[in-house]
Amino acid sequence: MFKRYAKLWWALGALIILCPLGLIATGTAFGEWGLDELIQSDEVGFIPQGLAKFGDFWQHAVLPDYSIPGMTSTFTQSALGYILSAVVGVGLVLLIITLLGKIVKE
């Protein structure tokens, strides 16, 4: 799996190591605000009722926001959590695509 396109895998590995660069942008993306951010916002200032009801629909994220729960106080901790998240995420993506690939005909 890794031999044929080795340079693509090396490039992916480099991106994983560099991914903490993405932590430099600390702002929340438009429309992805947490409940606390909505309350503090000048434009909104309240939590919509439907959002309060469905916002926490899924509570099984193991690495929420690409971080190790409880390990977000320093940049180093966040960066470690971020790299771990990239490794776990990439591993799961590879696993699922490889399984999906079993259906491909020769």
Binding site for other proteins (CB under 8 A): 1-2, 4-5, 7-9, 11-12, 15-16, 19, 21-32, 38, 43-44, 46, 48-58, 60-66, 82, 85-86, 88-90, 92-94, 96-98, 100-101, 103-106
Map residue 56 onto helix, strand or coil.
Answer: coil
Nearer Cβ to other proteins (72/98): 98
Q: Which helix (H) or strand (E) holds 39?
A: helix 35-40
Residue among 28, 23, 33 at smallest CA distance from 86? 23
Taking the complex as a whole, the smallest distance from the CB of residue 59 to other proteins amounts, in Å, to: 9
